[in-house]
Structures are given as structure tokens and as C-alpha cells.
Structure 1
Amino acid sequence: MTKSTPFRIDRRQALGLIGASAASSVLPRTGWGASHDATEMVRAHGYSFYGDLQYPADYAHWGYVNPDAPRGGEIVIGARGTFDGFNRWAWRGNPETNSGVVAESLFGEMPWGGGLPADSITDSYCLVAREVEYPEDQSWVTFHLRDDVTFRNGAQVTAKDVVFTHNLFLEQGIRSYARSVGERVIGAEVIDELTCKFTFAEGISRRSLISQVGGSPIFSEDWYKETGERLDEPSVLSPMASGPYQVADYEFNRYVVYERNPNYWGWDHPANKGRFNFDRVRFEYFADDTAEFEAFKAGVTNFRTEGSTKRWATGYDFPAVERGDVVRETIPDETAPNNSGIIFNTTRAPLDNRNIRHALSLAFNFEWVRESLQFSLTTQRKSYVEGQDWEAKGIPEGAELEFLQSLGDVVPPEMLTEEAVLPHTSNPRNPIDRRNKRAGLALLEAEGWTLDASGKLVNADGEQMSLNFLVISTWDDVRKASIETYVRTLQDWGIAVDAATVDSAQGQQRFLDKDYDVIHTRILTFASAGTGLQQLFGSETAVVSSYNPSALQSPMVDAIIEAALATTTREDEIIALTALDRALRWERIQVPEGFVAEYWTAQYDMFEHPADLPPYALGVLDFWWMNEDKHKALKDRGVLK
């Protein structure tokens, strides 16, 4: 089991999700920002759909940061794979994973990944903007920009840059984003130098649209015109933006260093107090996870978030740990776990058949994987929103049943009377569970697939079932071993499986092109009915959305999302989200794997963090800091390189 993912997918990567959670720590921002009546205009320092903003207009800093945290030092983290540029938003190529950190938005974000603030799932606060204004029906929104925001080249950030960037993403951004936003945001205009307005389409849910336009990166129009750069093309240049970090040094496929911009405009902004404390953030690239871990043991890197259960259980017995120079922490993770597991590409036959997906799911033996590969440290995930109030349980009843019945024939009758789909159980003593094999082969036979005399699973034309499993060479050993176990079981069933590994660049492109039958990755979790749900699970953008690895196209799921977007209370929203979880599980697009409800960190004993961490982010690169005295002591003893 690993808590890491094959590709870092967040909103800054490709501006993909409109108002939906992009990670457990990236949460939707929707709604009202101040009290109002039917005719009142809202002018506020932020935006929240449910109730008043948590922080007042004169807040000094976020409640979870240390506003007096010292600034300085370098944190060095390992990364795997390769990179060939710094345009994180390009559709082609293999850009450096963290290169979106250079950009900022009208609303504040956590540039290394996550929603801001990290102690709320409903609030957004102005950053580049000083104030947001909108009518009760949210048919449009106006942002009033600060007059002291500058790009890293010193040029002022103006409303024309905001509108230019919005249009740039529509013209050159990823297809699912351009299609979804273009249909919903029908106007973007410059009112004056520091004021811009966005107008939204009629007859649609406007839930999350203010958050979307307020959370989009802002680039320099002049820089794009002067350089001739394109958003959709790979580039060695970092887009001109206004963020607190900039690219300082790099060697392709070996390392990249981001340094704090000494001329950053926002160091004294209350949203930034106690944050961005490291002078330099360095990523060292390695070919695989073994080399990455050896570098940490040698002091080449100095911090890691551990994702391997095997390594957490057995790997931390080297001298630096025994001396106390390396410390480990187990930190509670209150967010819903990553929806990691084996995912079927539903556009590929025979995986376009739900019953076949169900059958192939039975070949995965979680219990054996947990005991044999994961040191019994994981819990199997049941739901796409595990542990949340909107996790579907049992048979639908009450308000949820009424909601599902209101959708009509798109909801299968059996889903109204059966319990929510749960993972099957398996014999932990043998990776090939004979009971599940019999059940799986029976399901396959009902769909026209039978075993021939040689033991091959064939259709009526005698063609053997054949699957291509996309596996990336940089994935950790436990993940690969889990995949290999599943593949061997499928082969035992008579299925031909190609699971040859590919390098990270080829794997990234195949992932984006959906050039696979099966993949082990994640589907993002959700906490609100933002329109980004349509990019996660909707039919309209299924084939082109990088957030929908199963390419799910389900009229039932589409109907649930549309109904969820029309809800006006949190109570009704939770009912709709519960129905969505139930429907996704019924579709059987993923075989769920295990999760660990904790962050596992290992670091050389020189990093510190607030005593009370926020519920929705670990925030290592955001609000942790370095103790210089401890760092010096480690250097003096030759512990660190």
C-alpha cells in the first residue's frame, strides 16, 4: 500500500476541477460571504456559501499558524521520475510536478497544494483581490484588486492580466476545463485597471463559480505577448506570476530549487503570516523509490512523507534513526482517504460492462495484500467519501430514497432495495481465493466468457480476454507487488494481461490519453456539490478529463450531480452526495484498496510545526519551519550532506 499517487493532480496542475475537491486537502469553496436580503449586494473580504466567514475582515493570521515562525533554511525532498519543463498547465510533455507554485489567485490558496484556509471547507479569502462583490443570485461577480500586487519581474498585476489568463485557459487549457468553464462563465471583462467582472450563464447552478474564477492562477499578459509562450505547449520557462516562490536552479531530471522571492509583494499580508518559512525548497529526483529512500538515509534529502507500509514497518532501522538524528511522527489525518485502487477504463470493451467489472473486482484479494504486503497496517476503504457524513450505508431510506426515486428510470430498481455496495471478502491465506474465483467466472460466463480446453477465458468467437495494465516504473515496490498479485490471479482465471512497466514520461502521456484498460491510481474525493463533480464523474467530459480515470459515463451519476447542484441547503446537499457515493459504488468502476488514517513523516530533527495542526492539511511546505540551531548541530556532526 502507498499513500502516494502516480501523478500529482491538483487544481494548479491543469485548472481542472471547478468547485470540487481535488484532493482530500483541496476542498470546495462555495457560497455567501456576508448577510444579505433579497435585494442586497454582497461586498466582503471573502466568500462562503454557508453562514458567515470564519475569519473577520481584520484577521491577523490563520488560527493554526505560528505567526512568529522563523524564516530561513532549506528543506530537501525526494521526488521520482523525470521532468522536461516548468509549464505545469501544458497538456503535453512532463512538467516539473511542483512548478505551479509560482502562481497566485484572486482568492488565497496553498500553492504547494491545498485549500486556504486549512481549517475550513467553506471559506475563501481575498489575496490578490482586496474585495469581492456579487448579487444574491450570483449571476455575476466583481473583484476589486489590490494596488500593490506585482509579478516577480516587478510589473503590477492588473485586471487585464486576470481576464487575459481566464481567456488563455479557455483557448489553450485542458479540454475538459475549457469546455466546462466556457459553458458556465459567459463573460469576463475589465472594468478598470483594478476591477474585473465575470458573468455566469443563466439556467445553471452557480454553486462554486465564484470560487472557480477567484481561484484561477493569474499570469502576465505582457510576458506572454513578449515571449510568444503558449499555455498548451511544454516550456523550460516558468510562467510570469506573482507567487512567493520562484525557480532558482535546476538540472533536468535531477533536481529543481524553488526559492522565496525577496521582492514578493505579500510577505506582510495576514493570509501569509507564519507561512512560506523555508528560504529554499529543493526537490531531488530519483529513478525509483529505493534510490530515493537511500538518499534520505544518507542525508541527501532531509524530509519525507512515507507512503509505503512495508518501509514504515521495517525500513527505519538505520543509524540516524537509532541516534535520534532522524525522527518519525504519526499525525492524525482527518480528511477522507484517497480513493486509491484498481480502476477500469469503462470506454474499453469488455470493461464497458458493469457485470464484467464486478467479476474482475473479485480477483483482488485485499486481505492477502494487507497481511502479506502491508504489514496489517491498512483498513479497506468502503466508500468514495470514507468516514464522512455523506458516506452511503445500508439500504437507501427516508430522504435519500425519495431523492433517488425522484430521478426516475436512470436509477436501477435494485439499487433502491439493496444495501450499498461493499468490498468483497477474501481468504488471506492464499492470493487466489477459490470462492471468489468461482463467483467471478460465473459472472463472466453469464456475459459470454467461458474457459476453453486450454484454460483460456474466451468469448463466443474464441478470442481470449486481454487486458493492458498501465504500470509506471517509479511506483514503489509494495504497489507493484500488489498489482503483480492481482495480475497473476487474472492470469490464473485465463485472462491475458500485459503489465509491462513504462517510464514516467510515457506513463504520464498514456494516463492523459487514457491509453490503458486498467490502472492503479486514485479518484478524488468530494465534500460539496460543486460543478467540478462533472469533471470527476460526468459523461460530458469523461473521455478528455484527467480527473476521471475510469472515463465513467453514467446517466444515473449525471442525474445525481445535476440534482445535487440544484440543492439550496447543506442538508439536501448531503443527501445528494450520499446518493452519489452509493451510485459510484454500484457502478463498480474501482476496486478499493486500503488506507491509513494518519500522515507518516520522517525528518532530520530540525523541523518544527504548530502544536495544533489544522484538520485539512499537513502543510509541511506551507506552515512548518526550520530550527536553525538544530540544523547547525546536524551539519557540524556531518549528519547532513
Structure 2
Amino acid sequence: MPQAICRPRIVNRTRHALLGSTLLFGAALWADQAVAQDEALIETHAYSYFGDVKYGPDMTHLDYVNPDAPKGGEMSQSVLGTFDSFNLFTRLGNAAALSTTPFEDIMIATADDPTTLYCYLCTTIEYPEDLSYVIINLREDVTFSDGSPMTAADMEFTYNLFMEQGLPEFLAVVNDQISDFEVLDTYRFKYTFTDQAPLRARVGLASIFSPFSKAEWEASDRRLDESWDTPPMGTGAYMLGSFDYGRDLTYVRNPNFWGADLPLNVGRNNFDSIRLEYFADGSAALEGFKAGIYRFRNEFSSLQWATAYDFPAVQDGAVIKTELPDGNLASAQSFIFNLRREKFQDPRVREALGLMFNFEWSNETLFYGLYDRVTGFWSNSELAATGTPSEGELALLQPLVDEGLFDASILTDEVVMPPVSTSNQLDRGNLRRASALLDEAGWIAGDDGMRRKEGEVLRVEFLESSPSWDRIINPYVQNLTRLGIDAVLDRVDPAQETERRRSGDWDMLTHSIQMGLEPGQVLYQWFGSETAEDSSRNLMYLKNEGIDRLIDAVVNATTTEEMTTATHALDRALRTIRFNVPQWFKAVHTVAYYDIYDHPAELPPYALGEIDFWWYDADRAAELGITAGGDTQ
């Protein structure tokens, strides 16, 4: 049942209160004195900038788990593509799926309270009212997978490692926000922040790094900015087991996992192993599912969902095909333009190309009506811009218009929405509008029907590795061809796609832009000018001072109202740039799985949780002749 609302308590941590620690901590006493002598600190097990938290310190388990879920069995799923590394903290190599599984965070959010951070590897945090620093009080029972204790020294090592070898896009955001990391004693450390660190982000910054073992790392020649043959030790419930590069890998339960009985873990981490099978494409993966090579499938193909699940195991009930609710913010999945390309720097060209993608025809003809259109970057939420700007938005946008950073039309026009097309593949009205835009931009159709500007043919290549996208992109290519554009689908192998995405060698590709319910500093990584040169998120190479200023307004918002208004303005402004052609989303999980798995009757709003809190039904597996390891008897 729901826990009582819990509020942090105020503690006075003075020199006298610390004297009992002298024999244990020695010099650490004086460091702590300097921080907090005669100063009132807020001490809490959980933190939410905007309001109350859901779970109190005496919780017994999360509301959405089954506390009596049995342990055992295997969860098996498919992955498309390949892998040759286990390091997600670098852009080198192709990292294996779930590569961060061995690692845990200092504080975590839950699937029913996504904007609160709860102490996980810590017991409490402490901070003054001005949030000029945050102290983390670690649990003393946390161990790495080899049984060695995790301490503040490991956190100091990890912090220094990320600040020296972290991704440039990450460092560009946080480098000037933390002024000092200080070990206060064996299980206590402190972050001090600069004035540049947004108040709302400071507790998150203090808990952002998952600890690595200093001893293990220093005994190896591993670097954070290089690919890894195997992952380093973590504190998590699972460790890497067997693997075959590019084919499969298995994570196995750590039998000595320190946190098995932690209230936040009750009813979670229920499988003995998690196995991932790699396939070259979606069709091969589906056949593997039918053959029982793996047992759980989250289906992302509307064609396969509508037509391919009529095989015997579905008909006799051995495989369950179902739709489960998905309350997550819709991903802004889109075709994006490479703004490095001169031809795409004219917004009229981008708008014209966007007009030629016919979502309505695609949804009816290709997707079986399963999808809704992505409209903006916070679709399906209260953070999405609507109508004309509110007074609060105008206050943010007017100065940017006055400086020439946005066109004045943003102050009066309705928010930009994707074009609506007819049920015919080629919407002739949109074709005429697109033709007029290209004419205005100087791309004129010649006698051969091809559009040229200064002798250059307007050519657009779509970079893609999956054959399942052919049926979606090819009609778009055909429409663009009717417009006089030399459009082609450039299908390559997954390794080539990865390399070309990273190097910027592409015109258009599909990108999934993931926003959150409490937008923060990650916005700089998605849309900020300072990260555009080397980013895994800002692939479109967006550099816009007006957008940067609006991101500042979102990040520095101190009330929910301010954050919502600033996000509305940002969403509105991003849509006017038209660097993307919005695709589609669905508000349900379309899943199929062998009837050997079970889940709580009511799922939380923000997670499907098949690996996190589902469990293995051994009795049902025996009835189906499936062993705990996934094989059929």
C-alpha cells in the first residue's frame, strides 16, 4: 500500500556532534568541521526538488513489485546488430546490450516516482539550504562482486576517472559545475558546487557516478575512453557470464549480492540469469523466437505484430501475445537532418522534405493503424507546447526575437505541427507546397525534373542498416523523387552505420530523442551548441544560441510552473527549426512471451520491467517442457 509522505529532517552538525568520531576517522573530523561547523543541514533518505517523495525511510518494498516473487530461471531476449565491447562510456566500439548491468547508482528513481532520487548505495544525504554542497553517507555493507567493500575512496577514484576520461559531451556540461570532491571518512564524501551548477541539478550531480573498484582498476590497464573486452567489477546483482562476440551473452546472478534483502530490491532481480541472443535483422529474430531460442519479445514492428503471431505456440496458449500499458513520455523518434550539410541549412529545404513524408498513408497502409504521430519533443504530456505562446512563454521568447535569434512569427503563430496528408501515398497539396518552398530556396527543377542549385543536384541519402525499414523509407524516397530530389536509401551493415553516425557521414537517418518528465541538464547534450561537435545525442549538429538560452531557462527553473513554461517555450522553438521529420509512437508495450513468465497484476506507469521485477514460473515451464535454462525438454 502507499507509504506515508516523508519529509527531510533538519540536523545541526557541529564540532561537538562529531567528536565521537575522532578515534575512527582522525583527520576526516576536521574536514567535516570545516564544512558544517554550527551549520544547519538537511538530512534525508530521498530528494525531490519540487515536492514530496512517495516512499518513506521505513518502506518494506516498492508498491508495484510482488514481494513474494520466486527467484530462479532465465529471462532471454533478442538484440539486433552486433557487439565487440562492454563499454558504454565511450563512443569507440559497439557496446553489448545491458553493458551497465553490473553497475549501480548512489541514488535511484523508481518506476512510480520518476522525479525523486532515493538513497540506494547510501543511507542518507546531507546538504545546506543553499545546496552549495552535498554530503553522501554511504551504506557500509555495499560490496563489489568479489566481496571487497565499496568505500568513499572508490567514489573519489571514479569521479576523477570520469572527469579525466569521460565523454566530451558529458564533460562539456558538468566540467565547470563541481569545484571539489572530498573524502570525509571511509563511508562519507562531499561534492562542492560552483555557482554555475543549477540548483535543481546538484543532488543529481552528487549521485551521477556508479562506483568502480579502485583496486581492480589500478591493477589493470583499462581506460574509460577505450573499448573493453569485459566489464570491470560492479556492485550490482548480476555479473557477466558467458559470451560470444556478436552472437550472445549472459549475465548471471551474483550469489553474494550485498543488496538482496534491501527494501528497494525486494521483489526485484528475480532471474538467475539474463541471456541476450543477437540477430542480424528483425525477421531472423522473430524466427528465433518462434523456435524458442529466446522466450521474451518486445515487438517494435507493426507489420510483424499484425501478421506474424499466428503460429501454433500462440494458438495453443504456450506464447502470450498482449498489449501492456506504457505511461512513459513518447520518444520523439524522427528522421533527422545533418545540419552540417549546406543543403540542409535552409529551413525551407527542411520543411519541404518534411512535407513529403506521409504519416497518415504509412499508418493506414504499413502500420495497421497502430501508431500516433509524434508532434513535438514532449508529445503526450503536459510539457508539450500547444496553441499560441502563453504570457510566460512570451516573456522568454520576446528578448530572443528582439536579438534576432528567432523570427517574430514565433510570438503569434500556432505551435508548429507535422503536416497532415491524405490517404494517397503522394499528397498533391503537400507536393505543391514543397515545390514552392524549394523554388524559393533556389532549387529549381530542370528539363529532366531534377532540382539543381548552382549546378548541384539536390540529393538526399537515408542511412539505415535494418531491412525492416525498406518498406517505410522507400515510399518516402518515391515521394521525394516526385519532388525532383535525387533520393536514395543507403542500406549498410550495422558496423558501417555506427561508424558513419559517429563521423557525421550521412544526410538523414532515424534518431530516437528521449526527453524526461523533469527536463534538466541532459538537454544540453541533446540540443546544446557546446555538445554538437562530438555528441551521441545531438547528432543533427544543432547549434542555435536561442535554443541554448531557452535550455538555460529550463535548467535554472526553481518552480514547477517556471520549468513547465520554459519547456513549452523550448519545445515551441525546437519545432520551428524543423531539423527533424517526426515519425510515430504508441502508448502501449506490444509484447509476446512464452507462458513461463509472470508479472504483478498492475504494472507501474513508467516501466515494463520484464528484467527488473517479472519472475519465472517454474511450474508452468515444466508443463511446457522448458527447463530453467530456457531449453525445451
Name the SS for the 1:183 alignment partner: coil
**Residues 1:636 and 1:600: Cα distance change in structure 2 (over 3 Å):** closer
Question: Which segment is superposed worse, 444-453 or 35-44?
Answer: 35-44
Aligned mate of 1:571, from 550, 561, 567 = 561
**RMSD, aligned CA:** 1.9
Alignment pair present for 1:411 and 2:406: yes
> Does the 8 Å CA contact 2:115/2:517 hold for their aligned counterparts?
no
Match of 1:628 among 603, 613, 618: 618
Report how far residue 264 of structure 1 moved.
Answer: 0.9
Name the residue aligned to 1:355. Answer: 348
Structure 2 residue aligned with 1:70 = 70
Offset at residue 411 of structure 1 (A) = 3.4
1:131 is paired with a residue whose SS is strand
Structure 1 residue 216: Cα displacement: 2.0
Q: Can you list the C-alpha shifts for 1:264-291, whole angstroms capped at 9, x where unaligned?
A: 1110111111000011100011111111
Structure 1 residue 352: Cα displacement: 1.8
The amino acid across from 2:123 in the alignment is R
Give, in whole Å, the separation in 2 of the partners of 1:37 and 1:157: 26
State the partner residue of 1:434. Answer: 428
Q: Distance in 1 between matches of 2:356 and 2:246?
A: 37
Tell me the secondary structure at the aligned position of residue 602 of structure 1: strand
In the alignment, does 2:443 pair up with 1:453? no
Letter in 1 for 2:311: F
1:22-41 to structure 2, matched below 5 A, reads 34=8, 40-41=40-41
Could you tell me whether the CA contact under 8 Å between 2:329 and 2:517 is conserved in 1? no
Q: CA deviation at 1:34?
A: 2.4
Partner of 1:3: none
Matched with 1:443 is 437
TM-score where L is the length of structure 1:
0.90
Q: Deviations over 1:84-137 (max 9, x none)?
A: 1222223211120211111012113xxxxxxx3110132111111111111111
In the aligned structure 2, how far is the partner of 1:203 from the partner of 1:94?
34
Encode CA deviations 1:471-510: one digit per residue, 9 max, x unaligned.
11xx362x33211221222223222234221222221222
Q: What is the match of residue 32 of structure 2?
A: none
Q: Retained in 2: the 8 A contact 1:85–1:96?
A: yes
Query: Following TM superposition, by how much is the alpha carbon of 1:152 offset from its aligned partner in structure 2, in angstroms?
Result: 0.8
Amino acid at match of 1:448: G
Superposition deviation, residue 424 in structure 1: 0.6
Q: State the AA in 2 paired with 1:444.
A: L
Per-residue deviation, residues 528-561 of structure 1 (Å, max 9, x unmatched): 2311111111111122121122221122211111
Aligned to 2:596: 606
Q: Deviations over 1:354-381 (max 9, x none)?
A: 2211111111111111111101121112
List per-residue Cα deviations over 1:368-414 (Å, max 9, x = no partner).
Answer: 11111101121112121112112111111332223322544333210
SS at match of 1:100: coil
2:429 and 2:96 map into 1 onto residues whose CA distance is 46
Tell me how far apart the structure 1 counterparts of residues 564 and 483 of structure 2 sit (CA, whole Å): 41
8 Å CA contact retained: 1:300, 1:640: no
Three-state SS of the structure 2 residue aligned to 1:500 is strand
Distance 1:45 1:535 in 2: 29
Q: 2:237 aligns with which of 241, 244, 247?
A: 244
SS in 2 for 1:635: coil
Instruction: Quote the Cα distance in structure 2 between the aligned partners of 1:350 and 1:186.
Output: 43
Which of 490, 507, 519 in structure 1 is aligned with 2:509? 519
Report the Cα offset of residue 35 of structure 1: 6.0
What amino acid sits opposite 2:606 in the alignment?
A: Y
**1:334: which partner in 2?**
327
Shift of 1:604: 0.6
SS at match of 2:176: helix
Q: Describe the shift of the 1:636–1:517 C-alpha distance in structure 2 as closer, same or farther (beyond 3 A).
A: closer
Aligned equivalent of 2:582, options 592, 597, 615: 592
Determine the C-alpha separation between the residues in 1 that align with 2:470 and 2:189: 49
Answering whether residue 501 of structure 2 is matched by residue 507 of structure 1, we say no
Structure 2 CA distance for partners of 1:636 and 1:220, relative to 1, 3 Å: closer
The structural deviation recorded for 1:427 is 2.1
Match of 2:269 among 270, 273, 276: 276
Are the aligned partners of 2:9 and 2:44 in contact in 1 as well (CA < 8 Å)?
Answer: no
Q: Distance in 1 between the 2:88 and 2:162 partners?
A: 12
1:425 maps onto 2:399 in alignment: no
Contact 2:72 2:616 (C-alpha < 8 Å) held by counterparts: yes
Deviates more, 1:42-51 or 1:314-323: 42-51
Instruction: Find 2:123's aligned residue among 114, 130, 133.
Output: 130
2: CA distance, partners of 1:261 / 1:308: 35
* CA–CA separation in structure 2 for the residues paired with 1:64 and 1:499: 44
State the AA in 2 paired with 1:421.
V
Partner of 1:293: 286
TM-score normalized by the length of structure 2 = 0.91
- C-alpha deviation, 1:187, in angstroms: 1.6
Matched, 1:169 2:159: no
Pair 1:481 & 2:479 matched: no
Partner deviation per Cα, 1:150-196 (whole Å, 9 max, x = no partner) = 11122111111112112211221211012211121222222222111
Q: Letter of the aligned partner of 1:439 in structure 2?
A: R
8 A Cα contact 2:152 2:187, kept in partner: yes
1:549-587 Cα deviation digits (max 9, x unpaired): 222112221111112222221011111111111111111
How far is 1:612 from its partner?
1.3
Q: Find the residue that maps to 2:137 and give its secondary structure.
A: strand
The residue aligned with 2:184 is: 191
* 354 and 526 in structure 1: CA distance in 2 versus 1, 3 angstrom threshold: farther
Distance 1:450 1:128 in 2: 62
Residue aligning to 1:548: 538
Shift in Å, 1:33: 6.7
1:307 deviates by 0.8
Supply the distance in 1 between the matched residues of 2:227 and 2:7 (Cα, whole angstroms).
38
Structure with more relative contact order (C-alpha pairs < 8 Å, separation 6 or more)? 1
Aligned in 2, Cα 1:68/1:306: closer, same or farther, shift over 3 Å?
same
On the 8 A contact 1:457/1:494 being kept in 2, the answer is yes
How far apart, CA to CA, are the structure 2 residues paired with 1:172 and 1:497?
Answer: 40
Match among 311, 318, 322 for residue 318 of structure 1: 311
* Paired residue type of 1:434: R
CA contact (8 A) 1:257 1:280 kept: yes
Relative to structure 1, is the Cα distance of residues 487 and 212 closer, same or farther in structure 2, using a 3 angstrom cutoff? farther
CA contact (8 A) 2:134 2:206 kept: no
CA contact (8 A) 1:354 1:588 kept: yes
Find the aligned partners of 1:226 and 1:428 in 2 and give their Cα distance. Answer: 63
SS in 2 for 1:341: strand
CA–CA separation in structure 2 for the residues paired with 1:287 and 1:33? 50
Match of 2:21 in 1: none
2:36 corresponds to which residue?
A: none
The 1:171–1:101 alpha-carbon spacing in structure 2 relative to 1, beyond 3 Å, is same
CA distance 1:188–1:433, change in 2 (3 Å) = same
Shift in CA distance, 339/178, structure 1 to aligned 2, threshold 3 Å: same
Cα offset, 1:81, TM superposition: 0.8
Structure-2 separation of matches of 1:411 and 1:439 = 23
Shift of 1:203: 4.1
Cα pair 1:33 1:49 within 8 Å, conserved: no
Structure 2 runs not aligned, ≥5 long = 1-5, 13-38
2:470, 2:164 → 1: CA distance?
39
Unaligned 5+ segments in structure 1 are 1-31, 109-115
Distance 1:636 1:34, change over 3 A: closer
Q: Greater CA radius of gyration, 1 or 2? A: 2
SS in 2 for 1:190: strand
- What residue identity is the alignment partner of 1:452? G
Q: How far apart are the structure 2 equivalents of 1:402 and 1:526?
A: 24
Match status 1:235 vs 2:225: no
